[in-house]
Structure 1
Amino acid sequence: MKYVKPINLFHDLLKTNNLGQGRLLGLDVGHKYVGLAVSDPSNKIASPLSVLVRKQSNICLMAKDFQSLISELSLIGFIVGYPFDNQRNTPDAVQVKVFVEDLRKTGKLEGLRYTYWDERFTSKSVELLLKPLNLHPVHSKTILDKFAAVGILQDLSGTSSSKAAADLA
């Protein structure tokens, strides 16, 4: 896995999309679960995908799941939600970095690029939308994690694609 700046990932994506391929996977990394969302082939719309259980003991299994998704969905990169803050070492920020580093150490995702995107309010926004539905807590948590990942991808697509287009003009 190789870290790249968001704008560089989008420049590469714009080049790749001329060939008609290259989707992004959004990750909302939590202490117990990782919510996943995938972009459409044109990288304009994000859809919820699934939620993976996150344990140190299953990191190799998760890497294998990601390998399958890369192949099935023609993924070119991961957008990892990161709680940017003035205090860079918050517990949430540290656990996101640890997760990415653990994935990288498996060696199963070589060549895959990833970047971080600010996700401070994605979970809270989804939580506020779900509250009136009075869902079972387990069902609500699953939906929250997937749609937080959707929020990360949608936010990135709306912001960076316009920046990338402006840079190319």
Structure 2
Amino acid sequence: MKYVKPLSLAVGISKTKTSVQRRLLGLDVGDKYVGLAISDASNKKALPLSVLLRTKTNIDLMATDFQNLISKFSISGLVVGYPLDRLGNIDDVGIIDDGVGMDTFIEELHKTGKLEDVKYSYWDERLSSKAVEMLLEPLNIHQVKKKTMLDKCAAVGILQGYLDFVNKNIMRTPSQ
């Protein structure tokens, strides 16, 4: 896995010369679950995909799941939610609820060797879950279903924020 700056990830996709439109996969990584969202074929909209169970012992299985999703949906990069401070800097090395850092999660995925060619970038996840929580609260959804919806929709918020940013900034770039 290789980290690239947010705009570089999108520019790399737009320069790829293939007949298949490349998509992005958004990740909302929590202590127990990883919510997944996928971009549409034009990389304009984020759509909820699924939720993966996260344990300390299933990182190899998760890497295999990511390989399968990359192949099935022609994914060319990951947009990983990461807590940023008010100035847009990485906050406390991405520590999440159980004390396992986001960097540790990415490092463990990298160590599997299954995602060597995958590029990823971080995107601000502040308040993504809280915003979805507020939207779901009045719906009286069963707690288990609510949790999976929350994780998927938080991933949508992360990926959509990224897509909006890059589409706005790529459109500003003068065309040749």
TM-score (norm 2): 0.90
CA change 1:94–1:58 in 2 (3 A) is: closer
- Matches of 1:104 and 1:160, distance apart in 2: 25
Q: For residues 109-149 of structure 1, give each alpha carbon's deviation from its aligned partner in whole angstroms, at most 9, with x where no partner exists.
A: 01110000001011111000000011111111100000000
Matched, 1:136 2:117: no
Matched, 1:52 2:52: yes
- Matches of 2:18 and 2:135, distance apart in 1: 36
Gaps (5+ residues) in structure 1? none
Contact 1:31 1:95 (8 Å CA) reproduced = no
Letter in structure 1 aligned against 2:150: L
Letter in structure 1 aligned against 2:115: L
| Alignment RMSD (CA, Å) | 1.7
Of 153, 156, 163, the residue aligned with 1:147 is: 153
Q: For residues 18-42 of structure 1, give each alpha carbon's deviation from its aligned partner in whole angstroms, at most 9, with x where no partner exists.
A: 7442100000000000000000111
Contact 1:27 1:37 (8 Å CA) reproduced = yes
Contact 2:82 2:94 (8 Å CA) reproduced = no
- Alignment length (residue pairs): 169
Matched, 1:69 2:75: no
Gaps (5+ residues) in structure 2? none
Could you tell me the percent identity over the aligned residues? Answer: 56
- The structure that is helix-richer by fraction is 1
Deviates more, 1:84-93 or 1:106-115: 84-93
- Matches of 1:71 and 1:44, distance apart in 2: 20
Letter in structure 1 aligned against 2:64: K
- Matches of 2:151 and 2:34, distance apart in 1: 7
Q: For residues 35-73 of structure 1, give each alpha carbon's deviation from its aligned partner in whole angstroms, at most 9, with x where no partner exists.
A: 000001110111111100001210000000100001000
CA change 1:12–1:90 in 2 (3 A) is: closer
- Matches of 2:18 and 2:169, distance apart in 1: 18
- Other-structure match for 2:95: 91
CA-CA distance at 1:90 after TM superposition: 5.6
- Matches of 1:3 and 1:19, distance apart in 2: 25
Deviates more, 1:91-100 or 1:26-35: 91-100
